[in-house]
């Protein structure tokens, strides 16, 4: 068999970039459906560049929440990216100047996963996985966001096309891989009930932030059985 | 200021905060974030936030609890996720289900 042109890390990075970029389509369309314009939608993908945070930002605004609630929810969802940087530090250091700034921007679920999935002793592959997936997802996510936003603009009432339902499904899809443990499932069940119960009582966006406290309570004590904590 | 201008300010603020958090991970000494409690809380807060967003997006309209086509759509999404369907398929299928039900005059 001929030797593949790209190394394993690069091939994985390309596949992940295409798959992730494709759902930039749903982000673009949902952002416009939530009332943001094309430029705002593009700015979110360029500047925030983290799917969960972006969906949350437009979700909170679309539900009538304040700008502050949108920023808070988006930021809390971005905290995990900070932990990815810690895990990646031994792979990427030393990072300085423009490479540090740019490397930080592309530190997301996908670039971290591809990098850390490479053999532990193959630093070159781990680095290639991070940069190829990070830059690849960034390029495709931003490009396809524009396509999604333009599609969304031409669709008219988002509810006719089920885009409001798609937003809920998008959040479910993002949380699904994190529900592997019993404790994570319990957190999900309780948080959902808390958020729904508080929705008629508090301003839009706030019930979601209160429900986040369920996560704080769940993480406070170590599990009795060593089960895996979701990333 | 107009709501439009506020949205722009929020976008720039969210972008800056997102980048600062990412940057912090690369530059802080490892022992600061090694604390397992901090790590667990961050992980479970992510779960709580995402599921709450899904629930509110699916079961509420203008601060009222509502059951409509979105509930059927998210049930279909859950089945597809359980069957390991790709993200984009899940999202597209749930939109199609809700759109179809509404075209039939329900929800």
A33-76: pLDDT as tens digits: 999 999 999 999 999 999 999 999 999 999 999 999 999 999 99
Provide the pLDDT for residue A112.
93
Examine residue B9 and state whether it is found in any structural domain, yes or no: yes
Mean pLDDT of B15-21: 98
> Which residues form the domain of B2?
1-32
| Greater model confidence, B89 or A130 | A130
- Please report whether residue B73 resides in a domain: no
What ipTM score was computed for the predicted complex, to two decimals? 0.90
> Which helix (H) or strand (E) element contains residue A63?
none
Check CB contact under 8 Å for B44 and A183: yes
The pLDDT value recorded for residue A3 is: 65
Residue B23 lies in a domain: yes
- Is the pLDDT assigned to residue A191 strictly greater than 90? yes
Identify whether B75 is part of a domain.
Answer: no
> Mutating which of B11, B19, B73, B79 best tests the A interface, going by the most A Cβ atoms within 10 A?
B11
Is there a cis peptide before residue A94, judged by omega within 30 degrees of 0? yes
Name the domain count of chain B.
1
Residue B24 lies in a domain: yes
Contact (CB, 8 A) for A151 and A160 = no
Q: Is residue B52 part of a domain?
A: no
- Asked if residue B98 belongs to a domain, the reply is no
Q: What's the rounded mean pLDDT across residues A84-97? A: 88
Indicate whether A132 pLDDT > 70.
Answer: yes
* DSSP H stretches of helix in A93-178: 97-105, 109-116, 123-155, 163-175
Mean pLDDT of B42-47: 88
CB A219 within 8 A of CB A83: no
CA distance A31 to B25: 28
Residue to mutate among A166, A202, A208, with most B CBs inside 10 A, is: A166
Go through chain A and tell me how many residues it has: 231
Q: Is residue B3 part of a domain?
A: yes
């Amino acid at each position: 068999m001929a030797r593949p042109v790209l190394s394993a890390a690069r091939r994985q990075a390309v596949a992940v970039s295409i798959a992730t970029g494709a759902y930039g389509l749903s982000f673009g369309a949902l952002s416009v459906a939530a009332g943001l314009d094309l430029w705002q939608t593009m700015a979110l993908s360029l500047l925030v560049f983290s799917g969960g945070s972006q969906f949350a930002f437009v979700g909170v605004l679309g539900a009538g929440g304040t700008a502050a609630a949108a920023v808070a929810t988006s930021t809390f969802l971005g905290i995990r990216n900070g932990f990815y940087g810690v895990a990646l530090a031994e792979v990427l250091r030393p990072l300085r100047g423009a490479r540090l700034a740019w490397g930080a921007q592309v530190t997301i679920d996908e670039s971290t996963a591809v990098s850390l999935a490479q053999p532990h002793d193959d630093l070159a592959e781990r680095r290639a996985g991070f940069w190829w997936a990070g830059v690849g997802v960034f390029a495709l996510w931003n490009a396809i966001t524009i396509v999604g936003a333009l599609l969304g603009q031409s669709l008219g009432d988002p509810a006719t096309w089920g885009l409001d339902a798609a937003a809920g499904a998008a959040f479910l899809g993002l949380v699904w891989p994190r529900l592997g443990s019993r404790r994570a499932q319990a957190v999900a069940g309780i948080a959902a009930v808390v958020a729904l119960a508080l929705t008629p009582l508090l301003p839009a966006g706030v019930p979601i932030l209160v429900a986040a406290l369920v996560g704080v309570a769940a993480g406070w004590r170590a599990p009795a059985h060593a089960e895996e904590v979701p990333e | 200021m107009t709501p439009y201008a506020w949205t722009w300010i929020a976008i720039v603020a969210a972008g800056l905060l997102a980048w600062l958090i990412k940057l912090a991970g690369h530059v802080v000494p490892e022992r600061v974030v090694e604390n397992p409690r901090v790590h667990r809380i961050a992980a479970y807060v992510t779960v709580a936030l995402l599921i709450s967003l899904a629930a509110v997006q699916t079961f509420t309209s203008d601060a009222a609890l509502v059951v409509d086509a979105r509930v059927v759509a998210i049930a279909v999404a859950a089945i597809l996720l359980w069957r390991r369907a790709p993200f984009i398929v899940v999202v597209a299928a749930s939109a199609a289900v809700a759109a179809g039900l509404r075209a039939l005059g329900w929800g």
